[in-house]
């Protein structure tokens, strides 16, 4: 065997067994059905919109075509609770308004998608099997993904507002969005939380602080004695801090 040649030769034409590929780290269970491509023209149109956005006039035409009526009010962005709006800063309200606009557009898209799904479901018996299979599944999956995104945007709005409010994150999480961002009974939940806090304070046993070690005795003036040179100096005696006045002052030194 010639050991002088260090060249590594890869045999790409050799097919390895699946168990060996799994040992090497290759996921042999990858669902290839999840890999797909879009129609070329659809890809071009979507890429253009993703890069440049829609023209304002085109966007408005689309929004007007899919009005969210009272029956579709759940697709509207949750309104900001009046009490939250009154307590929030102008900057936070402006940021929240941006998310409201995004949720509004997302709701329009869900309305358009929901119309197509509803059309299929209403006349499902007369629909070809193709519409009952992958076609309907893909549409419904799209709706689930987008409705979850709508929900996540509501959660993000709450998380951006809570730091500027006197409200705990736990209580905010318990206030599920609906017509209003923090639910329709926020004031009631705040009052309940305050009452529970007051009751817990009344039930809690008081704590006492133990003092470790005795206090050092303070020095109190006893009498004045004359020293050499005719100077008067104060003589101090040890006394308890509790027996003397804390504001007592030593005598003034005077030159005789």
pLDDT (tens place) for every residue of the chain, 256 residues total: 555 556 655 556 667 777 776 777 666 566 666 778 899 999 999 999 999 999 999 999 999 999 888 899 999 999 999 999 999 999 999 999 999 999 999 999 999 999 999 988 998 888 888 777 888 999 999 999 999 999 999 999 999 999 999 888 888 889 999 999 999 888 887 877 777 666 666 677 777 666 555 555 555 555 555 555 555 555 555 444 444 444 545 555 555 4
Assess if residue 86 is contained within a domain.
yes
Residue 20 backbone dihedrals phi, psi, to 5 degrees: -70, -40
- Cβ contact 78:70 at 8 Å: no
What is the distance between the alpha carbons of residues 226 and 231, in angstroms, rounded to a whole number?
Answer: 6
Assess if residue 164 is contained within a domain.
yes
Tokens of 255: 């030159």
Assess if residue 123 is contained within a domain.
yes
Domain containing 142 equals 79-196
Assess if residue 62 is contained within a domain.
no
Assess if residue 45 is contained within a domain.
no
Assess if residue 52 is contained within a domain.
no
The count of structural domains within the chain is 1
Assess if residue 95 is contained within a domain.
yes
pTM of the predicted model as reported, rounded to 2 decimal places = 0.65
Assess if residue 116 is contained within a domain.
yes
DSSP H helices, the chain, are: 18-23, 40-52, 56-65, 82-87, 90-122, 129-130, 136-161, 169-174, 186-203
β-sheet bridge partners, residue 233? 225
């Amino acid at each position: 065997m010639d050991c002088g040649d260090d060249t590594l030769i890869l045999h790409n034409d050799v097919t390895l067994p699946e168990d060996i590929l799994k040992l090497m780290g290759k996921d042999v269970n990858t669902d290839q059905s999840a890999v797909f491509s879009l129609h070329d023209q659809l890809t071009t149109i979507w890429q253009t919109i993703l890069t440049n956005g829609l023209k304002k006039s085109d966007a408005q035409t689309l929004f007007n075509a899919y009005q969210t009526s009272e029956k579709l009010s759940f697709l509207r962005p949750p309104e900001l609770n009046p009490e939250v709006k009154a307590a929030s800063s102008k900057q936070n309200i402006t940021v929240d308004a941006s998310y409201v606009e995004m949720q509004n557009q997302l709701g329009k898209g869900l309305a358009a998608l929901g119309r197509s799904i509803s059309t299929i479901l209403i006349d499902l018996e007369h629909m070809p099997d193709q519409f009952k299979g992958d076609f309907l599944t893909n549409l419904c999956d799209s709706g689930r993904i987008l409705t979850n995104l709508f929900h996540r945007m509501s959660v993000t709005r709450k998380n951006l507002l809570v730091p500027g409010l006197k409200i705990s994150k736990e209580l905010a999480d318990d206030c599920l969005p609906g017509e209003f961002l923090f639910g329709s009974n926020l004031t009631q939940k705040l009052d309940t939380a305050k009452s529970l806090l007051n009751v817990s304070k009344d039930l809690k046993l008081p704590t006492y602080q133990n003092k470790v070690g005795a206090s050092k005795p303070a020095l109190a003036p006893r009498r004045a004695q004359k020293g050499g040179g005719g100077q008067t100096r104060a003589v101090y005696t040890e006394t308890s801090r509790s027996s003397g006045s804390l504001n007592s002052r030593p005598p003034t030194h005077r030159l005789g």
